[in-house]
Each structure stands twice: as structure tokens, then as C-alpha cells.
Structure 1
């Protein structure tokens, strides 16, 4: 968001207001603003962060913000906290401003310990993400959680900056970290993320089965009774873990192709999360008031080689790491008020699912061509919706990204 705002680098306060409005409409209470630089190295990070704080202030809706320091910004924590700690929209815990990070542990964990002391001297609450050392991993296990607690005994809590993983990996790491840090009387902020596909030298991905992995992460965070969750995206749009709307579901252009020749909407991940956001906040699953479905699929089969980086043909054509684990399926998540039947017509393939009231996740192998979703109850068609994009056997412009769309009974959109 700070690196790459939806409306471009020249985004105004009004543009950021719209982003906040979209978030609050979906039950989100605040933004964690990851900043890879600050005043001394990349001052646009500070300038944009200030604009976002001003947008929240002008809206007057109580939207909260905090900085997640990253890279060079880790060396300007004093200015970050002193600049924003008195702002009305600064997120506070027990009256103190919260600061988080991506990384910053440093060699032999020395920088991370010094950073913890500095944040406390400045009057802040520190909930960083540090890699466990010497056993560095993206998917911490129990031994890593114990190692982190030994290495950084004075942190106020811990954040798992997880995005590169499947639902089992991320929810399991969330669980072991939550038990360790909450058990030690500290804060824990869990990661909830939609999908990951990297770029260039990091061209890899993880199958998340549409919304199923994200639902598993939500359910795990609720089960573990974590106090905070962050909807995590890496590198804004560039690594396909984004959630923010950038247009209609059919739209595919953003930033003049800077992030690839074909962007795909992920808003369905965000909208499907609303059920779990309400559950997380209230402590009980919300009543389902209307029939909704959310569909997810890639636009080409996994065997199709694609350009590794759409901006640099020198990388050539390839399959991303992890592609062998992909399923050439269409995935649907439904929130149903009563039992119903879902008919998926995927190219020349067709299947009917008989579903109960509540939350349902279904899938089937996809077929090349148009995708159609029909919801029927008592022989009455409640939803008849065509996916905004067909599946192609040969067109790899979407580069293994997932597309998500949605429909509501009697008002498909």
C-alpha cells in the first residue's frame, strides 16, 4: 500500500480515504503500513504514510494505523515513533504506540535486541516479525518459537509475517507461535493470507484451494484465541498476495502493466473473509442472512509454461516452484441459509453438489472455456453466474495467478 498505492505513486488523501472506506466496509479496523524505507533513504514512504494517517484523521471513523518497519526503515525507528505516536489514529496498546517489523533480527540477533530496547525507550509496544536464528525458516515450528522467545525475551509480542505457504503450513505456524507467545504472557498477531506466487528469482507458489486455505487460517486463529490478526500481503501487488480492489472483477489492468500484463481480482478473498472477521470479533459464528458464493480458478492449466517475469523476458519461460502441487480445479466457497444444490459447468464438464446450510467448500477439475455457477433450491434458481474470465489452454498471461469472483442470491455481481 505504501510502496504501491492502488491509484499510483501520486495518490491523494482522497484516494487513501477510498481505500480506508473499502476496508471498513468489510469489517477491517486498521492498516499495518509496511515501509521499506523512511526519510533518509526513500522519503516517499514517509510522505505516503503521513497522507494515509491524514486520510484516516479526516474520515473521523476511528480507523487505526501503525508502521511495520522493513529494510532501511528499521534504522529510523526513532523518527517513525516520534513522528506518529501522538497522532489520533495511531494504533495503541495500553496507551502506547505499536510498532511492528518485517525482519530486523540482525547477525546473532544483536540488532533485534537493540531494536527492542530502543522501541521501549521511546515508549512503544514492539510486536516484530523476526526470523528464527540460526534455524531460519518461513514456517516456524515449536523449536523455532522456543528459540525466538530465548533470543528476544523482552519483546512485547510477536507477529508471523506469513504469506508464502499453503493453508496447513501457515495455520500450523500460527498455532505453535500463538501457544508459545501467549503462553509466555505476550501478544501474538497471526497471519491470514490469500495466495502466494512470487516473481523473478522467487518464482514459486503454493496451492491454497481457492478460499479453503484462508478459511483454515481464520479458523485456526479463532481457535487459538489470538488477540490480533493481520491480513498479510507481500510486496503489495507483485507477489499475488494482494486483497485490495482495483476495479471490477473483469478488470485486468493496474499500473500500466508494471506488475504483469494481466492482473486478476482477489476481492473475493476479502469479501469471503467478512464472515470470519465477524466471528473473530464477536467470538461466535455469525448467522448467515443471505446465500452467497465465491469462486476461484486459474486461467490456464499448470502444465503451461509462462514468462517468469512479465517485465523481463531474460528470465525466459518456466514453471514456478511448487507448480507440480497445483490442482487444475475450480473452487467454490458458499455461505448458505438453507440446503441447496450447486451446479458447476466448467467448459465441457459439469457437476452437481448437494449442500447443507452453513459454510461449504467444493471443487472439481476445470474444463477449458467459460465457467458457470448455478445455485438452486426447491427447483428455483437463486444464482446463475458466469465467471468473468474463461479458462484457456494456451494463454498464460495471468502467470499462475488465481482469479476470484462472487455472486449473491438474486443479485449476481
Structure 2
């Protein structure tokens, strides 16, 4: 009896004393604020440049802001500009973006200015990528470089975790998303101690990043879609079917990535790869229209303002064109992330389901489409659930999404991811 009690006591995970956690607060707050300021600064600069390129200049030239000619010129020009940066900047603006996920490598400080410039040009120019991957890489590089000098005795692995958490907190305006991502990472690693002890410093950084971004930008993901009320059996069926459809559609892009990436890689030089990618994106923009440009958040809000304003065919076209644009932009060398374009694709898919089958509520369709698409593109279960839920902001949607995630996860788990190794083969 005594032996059993001793064995149970020894199996209990010991908690970390408060005095061991307190020293991490100030570094975490500093990383959180700085990481958020970098994200906000790059986003603001890109928006100002976007206004010039897509409003001031075409108005001065007397051409349509989103005419086929101007979209093609801008996307090819963006390919040329980013190609020059990748070609000439120290470190070539970081590694091939098709080989990088949210867990960014630690880049030397000399590489970071080129990566920031390439990201800002991409965001302003119109390719279908978001800021998350390159900004995380920049913040990780800065945190490791500055943190290692300011607190040389701190464990080196703490700085990337703080920077990633801070950037995710700033991106979504809440530390919850960062906590969910880090908990998935910790689950894959052999970590000691209680979960909340391990999350303490990253969550502090994420909270600081989220508060800084909220004070400066007031980010919101709620699309203000019509309320669907109390969930019913029809909603459960709809959310499962649409989420699985989104996962399958996303896996089509995942499967195609090595082939599309290989085609651009045969061009060998960034001044060929990126302008060629810009030309393909220009052709896709001519087909899908201006809503298929940029990272997609403003465009999602435009779709959500009138869910019944387009036909199922129009929503299907937006879905397929944006998916193709994401695939091309991620393959040809533009520096950017895939989460925000995937949210647009899932939203358009959900509204397509609503237009095709009126019994599918717009809110249910959108949240399910985003869930399935994000599971396929990111392979991040918690973040996919979180983003899908906050777009609708109804408590009743959570139970439906949890059920839908099970079937969609079975379709994507164990299969290739939308990330490549250096030799061009997919990560599994």
C-alpha cells in the first residue's frame, strides 16, 4: 500500500515554482511588443504602397484600377520587384518559401531586411499570400539575435517560441491562437513540467503582441454573417459534408504543389521564376476578378456583406481561382503564408454550398469550408477550429465544428503536407 502511494506520487508532474517563471515576464513582454510592432509596421507600409499602386497610379494614368490590363501589369511587375530582391538581397530573402511552415528557421540578421522588403512588396502587389510565415521568420531571427545578447544565459530555444507566439497573437488579435499552436508543438515534443508552466512565457509574449496589435489596428475576424440560431440535425449534416469537401479540395492543391513548384524551379533564376509566376497570377486575376487578389481578409468581408449576392457558379469560380492563385504564389517564390488565402477559399466554398443548397446556412457553410480548407493547407487542428469559429462568433457552432473536424482530419492526416523538403519532395 505504501509502495503504491509512493509510485503514484512519483508519477505526478511537478509544477514549476513561481520564482522560476517570473524572470521570463520582461523578456516575453519585450518580444511580444517588438514582434507586434514589426507586423503592424510592415502591414501598414504595404497598405500605403497598395493604395498608391492600385489607386493613385491607375487613376493618374486613366486606366481602371482593377482592369485586366492593370492587374496583369501589377502582378508581373510585383514578380520583377520581388525577383530583384530575392536575387540581390543578402541571403536571397530567406529560404524557398515552399519549404517553410509556421515553425520558422533561425535566419541571420543580414537576411531579415531583404525578407521584410520582399514581403511588403508581395502584400502590396496582389499575390495570394499572407504575411504570417515571413513575419514569424523575421521576428524569430531578431529575437534570437537580440535576446541572445541581452540575456545570454537564457536557453536559446526560448526565443523562437516567444517570437512565434507573439506574432500569432498579433496576427489574430488574441493570445488564444498562439496557445493552441504551441500546445500542439509541445504535444509532439518530449517536454517536462505542466503544460501551463511551459506555456507561461509564450502566452505572455502572445498577450503582449495581441494587445499591441489591438491598440494599434483593432483587428476583427467576425464576418457578421446572419445568425443560424439553435443547431439542428440538418446543420450537423451540412457542416460535416462541407468540411470534408473543403479538406478534399485543399488536398488537391497539396498534391499539386510538388509539380507546380518543380515547373517553376526549372526556370532556376528568381528573375525568371517570379515574373513568370506573376504572369500566371495575372491570367488568374483576369479570370476570377479583383476579389482573388491579395491576402484575402478585406475580400472575405466583401463576400460576407451579401452572402446571397452571387450564384453558386460565381462562388465556385472564386474558390477555384483563389486556390490556383495560392498554389502558384506559394510555388514560384513569393514570400508569404497560406493561412489567410485559405480562409478566403474556405469562405467562398461555404457560400457556394449555401447558394447551391439553400438549406445550408451561410454561417454553417463558411465555418465548415474554412475548417476543412485550413486542415488540409496548414495541418494545424486547433488553429483551424479557432479561425473557423471566430469567423462566425456563435457558441453553437463549436460543437458542430468539433464533430466536422473528425471526418476532415481523417482525410488529411498521414498524407503529404503543403510544405516541401529541399529536394522538392513533400513533407509528411
Query: Which structure has more helix as a fraction of its residues?
Result: 2
- TM-score tier, shorter chain, comes to under 0.3
Higher RCO structure, 1 or 2 (CA under 8 Å, sep 6+) = 2
TM-score (norm: length of structure 1): 0.25
